[in-house]
């Protein structure tokens, strides 16, 4: 049958299009449906669907916003022969968030499924505005929320719970969660440091919540360091005023350390981020979301009129969607039926009620209730042209008493409208038009009431003229009937009716209505009541307000106004905007307006004005703000000019801004190049902008700066660049001094004259000295010497000195010349004596090493170095083996020809000359020295090695020989097997056997032989063994009573002569673990003493050698000696069982009860007795066993009588009777229900 079918995949809808499906065919279905995606902007979204069906279905993709025909944006593909279909959306944007539908269709049916795509907008663009055109006949959509600044979002995260981080990040489009956590941690540390200036602790943060009464609340606990610290409330970065009682919209209540904030009369514009600040530190942030604000009535219900059996329409528009809104008729919920139709617009804002076939019984008050707000209007059903219900004064009074006190109420006497019209198309009669024309009725006013404006305290007259006499008529104000006691005068002159107000007050403004018969006319009376500012405030504002720069300035202007006031601030004729980049904050509270400048500067000086405007008029106040500050720096550039032999001349211009004070003087300071200290050099008067500094040195660089000084202090400085005070030409450097002579008492120097400009008129020369290695030069002569030769005295004997010279002219000393060569202050040295004990210590193929002793110092000075020379056997010329001298007494001559013979000699040298050369008498050949072979063994070397079978054998043998000898390895006097490996390298030979076996046992010998036939041998023994095999069977026998002899078959290794021993282990039934009873047993038997009868003994034997133990051999049966048991008898004791019988008694008796009606009563007592007594309950001596209104319980002697709901008939005397065969016990109590209190809660 055609219709809907169920798919095996959840979320897939299948509709069959034909009644019968042929065999082998089927309707489309999904094997795999697309999955919901949430991706950031810029990514590509891919939906995959796998469909099936016979014949193969066609697949179509759609979205709720339109088609997917843009091929560059949407790519739809499917692989040939496959059932998979793909939709790819490229470069996602916020507009791509939508519901996408996939439909598979063939000749027999269709299958559909939907999937949602959510695009996470990057950054804080999630709440960007999207302009939409309002639909006709529907309330415009609410204004999009302001774009939340990133700083406010971070403030919200810092005070939010960790469980809410993900929600906030998704809401504001933060995709880098880890980065958010890192930045949040840094910001929290900075905020805590800032809060620590004003707050000791903050706790119990409660984020904003909306109560059932429509009040938003949030609270926190603050421990302030100073109770005088100011607390501010900000919304979306703008400071908002608050009061301390419920009469203001924003209220702060403080109880100890608890601060409780309230926001009354919530509106959509109240949504946003709220922040609490202590001074300038943010301590708490919370967000009021638009969805949390209860919906309000934007367009209320209007009175509806219709003919009998016609349709009446009521329509109301809300500020927010409200799915729980309900319709009421005569204050009772409306029961939906065929008579009523209820419609809700797609955006959930507009609600419409249609009353079909209205009759007189449908007349009454209809209302739409959203929970906190409601809107009501009257339905009038007209019976006919001439016959219709007449509304009397009583009816209007009745209607007036039904006025809705909540927002969104409709005027009781509002203009009537056609039931088919929209509430927005309501007709309002203008001045001079009759109200009957507006209502479309037959009777009308020849002149209706007109809107009137009057100043406060003046007289006002409201007048209208009827076209026919309809009676005296009645006057109403805002739906309330007026009388003479209301301070008004009623006049009637024929068909003209007047209402006179002799002295209009502010409370008399409102909507006035005149009613005559069924006709009425209405108009508004507006009382002009402009805001007023107290004269003393105006008088104070005439004087300029003077503040220092950097200080906060708050100007609060109080005023009085009955009507709402708007404040507009201006500075020098330009509008001042609050919360701008300068930090200006504007506030408007109840009876005051405030301008706050957190930190003023000179630019904030000027003429300020505030204009207070209301519906009753406007008033303006002006004041002058003067900000004083330190003066600005003088205008530059600072000119610096060197005057010949008169110092330095400085020039500048006065500062552009003197800070609002008169300049008292200037301060001139100077700093030498390379230093950080500024020196004060003068204070020119304010009318002088030049100064001359005469205390300067030529040839040095200086920097200058100038400040202006007022009564507020010195301003910033105008600074110059570093300037060089040019000196006269100085002489050049002389040449490096030459040493003419040196002794222990003096050193004589000579040098050449300098060259270049300034070197013509030289007055003399200055000589400086320093020790070698030092960086400090010391003057030798205080007065210049005219000659270019000088003898330096005052020297320390034995020290090495350097000297330099500088020329002196009238301009001063010039640059010093280069230093001289280092020279010792000592007498001339004698040549050293010849070296002693010259000998050869080592030779090789390419080198010869010689050593010697220092010369004898008796008749000569010590040597400062040595010269080593060689002479070949085929040459007669000596040549040195090195550059310079040799400092030590040993030297190796390298790079020689092998086997070549050389003569060697050594000469000692010092500053006094050379010593006689000392040479060797014999020819020395460049060849290695001969060393007899020998083994380098110590006490740790073992002659016998024990190795386990299968292990590797590695035996290193060190030796010494020169030249390298021939190394031979032998085993038992024969060459080594092939499986043994030997190596020789750098005085070490090694034997390696990778895997040891029993055949490797034997004595090994190493033999060394050199070219001269000298030999050396070393022998050691290697023993290769394995762990022994397990012993054979074990036999047990008792040769001596009380003992057991353990005998076993020997291990097979014992027959091969391998040294081993045995270990015997035993465990008994009294000790479950094995323990050793004998070790190092060389025989095959062992006797155990002290065997106890009745115990079972198990034995284990192991064979051991140096390499380890064998596997154990265990006894097959335990050894046990039977135990003879003695006969015994048992005598049971006799005792008398006590009698525990006891007659009943009450441990805890009943007590009287005085309880409110409707409360639960529970009478309890405790009974004891043996046997267990049975408890029966009585009321006034009547058994309660069959009373269904109460019941009893008995739990381990604790008995209770429960009356679920106490009533007056339950009063009386109650008795509990406990019985058993030994007797009975009785406990009584009285129950008195209280007639004055009635509660529904359970009472104890």
Q: Mean pLDDT: which of 400-414, 878-892, 930-944 is highest?
A: 878-892
Quick check: 634 and 594 in contact, CB under 8 A?
no
Q: Which one of 600, 628, 656 terminates a domain?
A: 628
- Residue 390 pLDDT > 50: no
Residues 172, 266 within the same domain? yes
How much is the pLDDT for 140?
37
pLDDT score for 652:
93
Give yes or no for a contact between 1013 and 1022, defined as CB atoms under 8 angstroms apart: no
Mean pLDDT of 240-261: 82
Q: Which pLDDT score is estimated for 1020?
A: 93
Section 1158-1176 average pLDDT: 93
Average pLDDT over residues 397-420: 33
DSSP state, residue 532: B
Q: Are 725 and 698 in contact (CB under 8 A)?
A: yes
Q: What is the DSSP string of 221-280?
A: EEEESSTT--EEEEETTEEE--BSSTTSSEEEEEETTEEEEEE-S--GGG-EEEEEEETT
Nearest partner of 753 among 793, 687, 808, judged by Cα = 808
Task: Decide if 702 is inside a domain.
Answer: yes
Neighbours of 727 (CB within 10 A): 13
pLDDT at 427: 31
What is the predicted pLDDT for the residue at 645? Answer: 55
Residue 384 and residue 1042: Cα distance in Å, rounded? 137
pLDDT in tens, 1063-1111: 999 998 777 789 999 999 999 999 989 888 888 889 999 999 888 898 9
Number of domains observed in the structure of the chain: 10
- pLDDT score, position 1215: 94
CB atoms closer than 10 angstroms to residue 595:
22
Q: Are strands 953-962 and 988-993 parallel, antiparallel or unpaired?
A: antiparallel
| 1154 in a structural domain | yes
Predicted pLDDT of residue 729:
67
1225 lies in the same domain as 1152: yes
From 427, 447, 467, the end of a domain falls on: 427
Task: Indicate whether 952 and 987 sit together in one domain.
Answer: yes
> DSSP assignment, residue 853?
E
Residue 873's contacts (CB-CB under 8 Å, 6 or more residues apart) are: 900, 901, 902, 903, 923
Check pLDDT > 80 for residue 423.
no
Q: Is residue 466 part of a domain?
A: no
Q: Is residue 1000 included in any domain, yes or no?
A: yes
| Contact present, 803 and 819 (Cβ < 8 Å) | yes
Mean of pLDDT values over 775-796: 92
pLDDT of 78: 82
**pLDDT > 70 in the chain, percent:** 90
Residue 1151 and residue 1039 share a domain:
no
Shortest CA distance to 767 belongs to which of 721, 805, 735?
805
Q: Is the pLDDT of residue 125 over 80?
A: no
1056 SS3 class: helix
Q: Is the sign of the CA dihedral 37, 39, 41, 45 positive or negative?
A: negative
613: domain CATH number is 2.60.40.10
Average pLDDT over residues 235-243: 83
> What pLDDT does 1017 receive?
94
Q: Is the pLDDT of residue 868 over 60?
A: yes
Nearest to 368 by CA among 401, 335, 329, 336: 329
**Residue 911 sits in the same domain as residue 941:** no
- Answer with the residue of higher pLDDT: 315 or 142: 315
- 33-44 per-position pLDDT tens digit: 888 888 888 888
Q: Domain boundary residue among 787, 807, 827?
A: 807
Q: What is the CA radius of gyration of the chain?
A: 60
Strand partners, 679: 670
- Any idea which of 465-474, 542-551, 974-983, 997-1006 has the lowest mean pLDDT? 465-474
Average pLDDT over residues 666-690: 91
* pLDDT value for 643: 65
In this structure, the answer to whether residues 281 and 307 fall within a common structural domain is: no
Report the chain's terminal Cα–Cα distance, integer Å.
66
Asked whether residue 229 is domain-assigned, the answer is: yes
982, pLDDT greater than 70? yes
* Angle, CA of 629, 630 and 636, to the nearest 5°: 130
Are 983 and 992 within 8 A, CB to CB? yes
Of the listed ranges 202-206, 544-548, 1168-1172, the one predicted with least confidence: 202-206
Mean pLDDT across 44-68 = 87
**How would you class 1101 by CB atoms within 10 Å of its CB: exposed for 0-12, middle for 13-18, buried for 19 or more?**
buried
pLDDT at 331: 80
> What average pLDDT does this structure show over 421-447?
41
Question: Strand 1161-1170 relative to strand 1142-1148: parallel, antiparallel, unpaired?
Answer: antiparallel
Q: Which of 584, 644, 702, 630 is nearest to 237 (CA)?
A: 584
Per-residue pLDDT tens over the stretch 563-610: 788 889 998 988 887 655 567 888 888 788 988 888 888 888 999 999
User: Which comes out higher in pLDDT, residue 506 or 1053?
Assistant: 1053
Same domain flag for 287 and 156: yes
Q: What is the pLDDT of residue 389?
A: 38
Higher per-residue pLDDT: 816 or 930: 816
Give the range of the structural domain holding residue 705, as residue numbers without chain letter.
635-724
Residues 323 and 417 in one domain: yes
Region 733-740: mean pLDDT is 92
Q: Which two tokens stand for residue 476?
A: 């109403």
On whether residue 1129 sits in a domain, the answer given is no
On whether both 548 and 608 belong to a single domain, the answer is yes
- Is the previous residue joined to 660 through a cis bond, with omega within 30 degrees of 0? no
Is residue 519 in a domain? Answer: no
Task: Kindly state whether residue 1130 falls inside one of the protein's structural domains.
Answer: no
The mean pLDDT value of the chain amounts to 83
Instruction: Tell me: do 875 and 994 sit in the same domain.
Output: no
How many angstroms separate the CA atoms of 1192 and 1209, rounded?
18
Identify whether residues 746 and 710 lie together within a single domain: no
Q: Which residue has the higher pLDDT, 152 or 547?
A: 547
Least confidently predicted of 106-110, 183-187, 492-496: 183-187
- Burial of 247-259, coded b for 16+ CB within 10 Å and e otherwise, reads eebbbbeeeeeeb
SS3 of residue 1009 by DSSP: strand
pLDDT band, residue 136 (cuts 50/70/90): very low
What does the H/E/C string look like for 536-552?
HHHHHHCCCEEEECCCC
| Residue 391 or residue 897, greater confidence | 897
293-304: average pLDDT: 84
Residues 1173 and 1159 in one domain: yes
The SS3 of residue 130 is coil
344: CB partners within 8 A, 6+ apart: 350, 351, 352
| pLDDT higher than 90, residue 357 | no
Q: Which strands form 199-210's sheet, in the order they lie side by side?
A: 199-210, 216-224, 258-263, 250-255
Residue of 1106, 1169, 734 lying closest to 944 (CA atoms): 1106
Read off the pLDDT band of 401 (50, 70, 90). very low
pLDDT of residue 804: 95
pLDDT digits (tens, 9 = 90+) for 1107-1158: 889 899 999 888 888 877 767 777 778 777 888 899 999 999 999 999 888 8
Of the candidates 980, 988, 979, the one whose C-alpha atom is nearest the C-alpha of residue 1018 is 988
Query: What six digits make up the tokens of 1235?
Result: 């007639």
């Amino acid at each position: 049958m055609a219709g809907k079918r169920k798919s095996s995949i959840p979320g897939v809808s299948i509709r069959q299009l034909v009644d019968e499906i042929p065999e082998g065919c089927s309707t489309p279905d999904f094997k795999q449906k697309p999955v919901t995606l949430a991706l950031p902007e810029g990514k590509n979204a891919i939906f995959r669907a796998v469909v099936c069906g016979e014949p193969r279905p066609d697949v179509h993709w759609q979205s709720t916003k339109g088609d997917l025909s843009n091929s560059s944006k949407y790519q739809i593909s499917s692989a040939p022969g496959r059932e998979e279909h793909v939709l790819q959306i490229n470069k996602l944007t916020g507009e791509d968030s939508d519901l996408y539908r996939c439909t598979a269709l063939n000749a027999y049916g269709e299958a559909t499924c939907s999937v949602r795509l959510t695009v996470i907008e990057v950054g804080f663009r999630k709440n960007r505005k999207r302009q939409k055109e309002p639909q006709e006949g529907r309330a415009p959509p609410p204004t999009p929320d302001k774009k939340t600044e990133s700083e406010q979002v971070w403030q919200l995260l810092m005070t939010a719970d960790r469980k809410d981080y993900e929600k906030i990040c998704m809401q504001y489009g933060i995709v880098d969660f880890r980065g958010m956590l890192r930045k949040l941690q840094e910001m929290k540390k900075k905020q805590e440091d800032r809060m620590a200036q004003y707050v000791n602790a903050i706790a119990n943060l409660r984020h904003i919540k909306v109560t059932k009464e429509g009040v938003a609340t949030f609270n926190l606990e603050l421990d302030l360091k100073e109770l005088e610290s100011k607390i501010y409330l900000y919304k979306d970065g703008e400071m908002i005023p608050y009061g301390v009682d419920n009469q203001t919209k924003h209220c702060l209540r403080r109880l100890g350390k608890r601060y409780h904030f309230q926001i009354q009369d919530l509106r959509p514009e109240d949504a946003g981020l709220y922040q609490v600040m202590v001074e300038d530190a943010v301590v708490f942030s919370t967000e009021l979301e638009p969805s949390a604000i209860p919906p309000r009535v934007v367009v209320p219900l209007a009175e509806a009129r219709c003919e009998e059996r016609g349709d009446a329409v009521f329509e109301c528009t809300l500020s927010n969607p409200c799915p729980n809104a309900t319709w009421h008729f005569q204050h009772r919920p409306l029961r939906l039926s065929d008579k009523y139709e209820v419609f809700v617009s797609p955006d959930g804002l507009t609600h419409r009620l249609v009353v079909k076939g209205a009759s007189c019984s449908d007349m009454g008050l209809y209302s739409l209730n959203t929970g906190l707000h409601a809107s009501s209007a009257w339905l009038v059903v007209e019976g006919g042209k001439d016959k219709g219900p007449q509304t009397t004064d009583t009816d209007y009074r009745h209607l007036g008493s039904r006025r809705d006190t909540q927002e969104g109420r409709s005027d009781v006497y509002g203009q009537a409208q056609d039931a088919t019209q929209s509430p927005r198309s309501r007709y309002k009669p203008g001045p001079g038009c009759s109200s009957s024309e507006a209502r479309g009725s037959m009777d009308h006013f020849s002149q209706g009431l007109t809107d009137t404006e009057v100043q406060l305290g003046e007289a006002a007259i409201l007048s209208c003229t009827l076209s026919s006499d309809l009676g005296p008529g009645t006057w109403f104000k805002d739906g309330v009937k007026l009388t003479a006691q209301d301070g008004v005068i009623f006049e009637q002159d024929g068909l003209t009716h007047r209402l006179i107000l002799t002295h209009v007050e502010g409370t008399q403004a409102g909507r006035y209505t005149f009613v005559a018969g069924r006709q009425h006319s209405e108009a508004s009376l507006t009382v002009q009541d402009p805001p007023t500012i107290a004269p003393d405030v105006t008088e104070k504002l005439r004087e300029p307000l003077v503040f220092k720069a950097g200080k906060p300035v708050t100007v609060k202007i109080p005023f009085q106004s009955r009507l709402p006031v708007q404040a507009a601030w201006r500075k020098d004729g330009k509008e001042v905007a609050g919360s701008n980049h300068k930090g200006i904050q504007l506030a408007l509270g109840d009876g005051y307006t405030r301008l706050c400048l957190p930190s003023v500067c000179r630019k904030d000086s000027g003429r300020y004005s505030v204009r207070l405007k209301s519906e009753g008029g406007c008033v303006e106040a002006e004041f002058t703000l003067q900000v004083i500050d330190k003066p600005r720096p003088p205008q530059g550039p600072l000119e610096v000019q060197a005057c010949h032999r008169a110092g330095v001349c400085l020039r500048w211009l006065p500062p552009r801004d003197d800070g609002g004070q008169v300049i008292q003087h200037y301060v001139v300071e100077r700093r030498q190049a390379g230093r950080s200290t500024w020196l004060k050099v003068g204070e020119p008067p304010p009318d002088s902008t030049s100064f001359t500094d005469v205390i300067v040195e030529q040839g040095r660089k200086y920097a200058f700066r100038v400040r202006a000084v007022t009564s507020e202090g010195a301003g910033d400085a105008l600074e110059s660049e570093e300037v060089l005070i040019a000196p006269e030409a100085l002489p050049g450097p002389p040449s490096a001094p030459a040493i003419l002579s040196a002794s222990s008492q003096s050193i004589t120097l000579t040098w050449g004259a300098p060259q270049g400009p300034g070197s013509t008129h030289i007055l003399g020369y200055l000589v400086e000295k320093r020790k070698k290695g030092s960086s400090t030069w010391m003057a030798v002569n205080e007065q210049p010497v005219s000659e270019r030769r000088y003898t330096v005295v005052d020297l320390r004997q034995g020290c090495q000195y350097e000297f330099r010279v500088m020329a002196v002219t009238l301009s001063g000393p010039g640059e010093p010349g280069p230093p001289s060569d280092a020279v010792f202050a000592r007498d001339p040295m004698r040549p050293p004596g010849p070296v002693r004990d010259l000998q050869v210590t080592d030779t090789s193929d390419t080198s010869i090493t010689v050593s010697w002793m220092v010369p004898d110092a008796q008749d000569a000075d010590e040597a400062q170095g040595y010269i080593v020379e060689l002479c070949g056997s085929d040459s007669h010329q000596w040549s040195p083996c090195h550059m310079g001298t040799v400092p030590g007494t040993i030297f190796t001559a390298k790079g020689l020809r092998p086997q070549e013979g050389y003569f060697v000699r050594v000469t000692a040298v010092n500053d006094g000359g050379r010593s006689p050369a000392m040479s060797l008498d014999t020819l020395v050949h460049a060849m290695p020295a001969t060393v007899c072979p020998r083994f380098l063994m110590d006490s740790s070397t073992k002659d016998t090695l024990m190795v386990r079978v299968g292990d590797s054998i590695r035996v290193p043998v060190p030796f010494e020989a020169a030249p390298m000898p021939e190394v031979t390895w032998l085993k038992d006097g024969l060459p080594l097997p092939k499986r043994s490996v030997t190596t020789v390298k750098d005085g070490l030979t090694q034997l390696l056997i990778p895997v040891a076996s029993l055949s490797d046992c034997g004595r090994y010998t190493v033999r060394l032989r050199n070219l001269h036939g000298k030999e050396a041998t070393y022998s050691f023994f290697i023993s290769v063994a394995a762990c022994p095999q397990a012993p054979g069977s074990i036999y047990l026998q008792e040769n001596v009573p009380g003992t057991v002899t353990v005998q076993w078959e020997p291990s097979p290794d014992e027959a091969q002569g391998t040294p081993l021993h045995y270990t015997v282990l035993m465990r008994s039934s009294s000790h479950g673990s094995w323990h050793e009873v004998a070790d190092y047993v060389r025989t095959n038997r062992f006797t155990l003493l002290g065997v106890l009868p009745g115990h079972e003994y198990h034995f284990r034997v192991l064979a051991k050698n140096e390499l380890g133990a064998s596997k154990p051999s265990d006894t097959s049966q335990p050894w046990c000696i039977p135990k003879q048991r003695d006969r015994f008898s048992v005598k049971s004791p006799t005792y008398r069982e006590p009698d525990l019988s006891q007659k009943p008694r009450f441990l805890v008796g009943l007590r009287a009860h005085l309880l409110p009606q409707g409360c639960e009563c529970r009478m309890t007592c405790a009974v004891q007795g043996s046997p267990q007594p049975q408890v029966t309950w009585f009321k006034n001596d009547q058994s309660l066993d069959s009373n269904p209104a109460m019941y009893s319980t008995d739990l381990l002697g604790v008995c209770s009588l429960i009356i679920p709901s106490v009533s007056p008939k339950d009063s009386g005397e109650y008795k509990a009777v406990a019985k058993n065969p030994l007797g009975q016990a009785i406990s009584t109590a009285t129950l008195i229900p209280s007639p004055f209190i009635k509660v529904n809660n359970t009472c104890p």
